[in-house]
Amino acid sequence: MKKLSLIVTAICLLCIISCTQSKKNENKAPMGAMAHSVGKINELSVVVDNELWKSSVGDTIRKFFGGEVPGLPQEEPLFSMRQMPEEAFYGLARKNRTFLWIKKGEKSKYTILTNKFATPQVGAVITGETDDEISSLINKHYKTIISKYKLAETKEKQRRIKKSLEKIPQLQEKLGITLNIPTAYRVAIEEDKFFWIRKDIPHGSMNLMIYELPIGTVSKDSNTISSIIKMRDSIGTVKIPTSEVGNFITEEAYAPYIYETTLDNKFTFETKGTWEIKDRFMAGPFVNYVIEDAVNNRLMVLEGFVFAPSVNKRDNMFELEAIIKTVHFE
């Protein structure tokens, strides 16, 4: 009887341990259990009451998150926004990769949610007791929110690109870099220190230029933008064939936008503007990255540009930027 009692006690202890472990596992669900986020690139779900959407709060949201993308020849918004009231924000709607959630009637607060309902996912929640409080918080934090959204969208685009890559070992052999380039692209021109890589799209093409220059070609002073324009115009005039009816140059009427950033942990000038071929009435957007590769005493230049008359080009340019941002120096 004593032996039987010990066996029963041991079984009870095992059951208790098992139940406790099960509860721990329930409370700590594995990452794989969370649904993968959905949505088109640069599509933002805006969760806000219909009346607020029609008010000054909606105007503030549209001003910042639907603002014009810099460097494009026609107006296109930063994000394609889908507005929905809170009662519609459930099920699949909660799986969108980015969302902005506005709540009125609660204490003034700004919160960033990461992987709340799906992964990867970035959500911004803004609450306030009045319209003015909400608008003020949006005005204060929109730059940070947009930056987090864009980073999430870039990573997602790069993940999709990585599914099917074109092998171009010459980039590593001749320039000492690697890039994740989709299989839809092809090498149009290959020289010792210059590559032109293209992708055909309906009504036009998407293009990458990759080349190196001496380290002092672009100045770091008040003349930076003019030296970048001079640099890209001299290369474009020589390297991009235009049937001898005009040169591939920077559009002259408006100055490009210039920013400082880093690529592969290297100081970089990022320039966005419009290219043109004057006598052919051709134009389109470009983004140019001048990377300071001090170790090799050179500048590495990567430029993306699109030719696609009469169609939107925001997402085309976003793809080119996502490709360029995968650059790695060997």
Q: What is the DSSP letter of 176?
A: S
User: How many Cβ atoms from other residues are within 10 Å of residue 93's Cβ?
Assistant: 15
pTM of the model: 0.86
| CA atoms of 185 and 287, how far apart (whole Å) | 18
| CA atoms of 184 and 242, how far apart (whole Å) | 23
What is residue 123's three-state secondary structure? Answer: strand
- Residue 10 has what pLDDT? 45
**Domain 43-161 classified CATH 1.10.260?**
no
Q: Provide the residue-wise pLDDT of the chain in tens; the chain has 330 residues.
A: 444 444 444 444 444 444 444 444 433 445 446 899 999 999 999 999 999 999 999 999 999 999 999 889 889 999 999 999 999 999 999 999 999 999 998 899 999 999 999 999 999 999 999 999 999 999 999 999 999 999 999 999 999 999 999 999 999 999 999 999 999 999 999 999 999 999 999 989 999 999 999 998 998 888 999 999 999 999 988 888 776 667 888 888 788 999 999 999 999 999 999 998 877 778 899 999 999 999 999 999 999 999 998 899 999 999 999 999 999 998
Dihedral sign computed on CA atoms, order 47, 49, 54, 59: negative
Q: Where are the domains of the chain?
A: 43-161, 170-329
Torsion angles phi and psi, residue 149, rounded to 5: -60, -50
- Residue 15 has what pLDDT? 45
Do residues 50 and 102 make contact, with C-beta atoms less than 8 angstroms apart? no
| CA atoms of 266 and 325, how far apart (whole Å) | 12
| Strand 282-293 relative to strand 266-277, pairing | antiparallel
| Residue 240 CB contacts under 8 Å (≥ 6 apart), including other chains | 196, 209, 248
- Fold of the CATH domain 170-329: Protein Transport Mog1p; Chain A (3.40.1000)
| CB-facing half-sphere around the CA of 2: CA atoms within 13 A | 0
Largest CA distance in the chain: 104
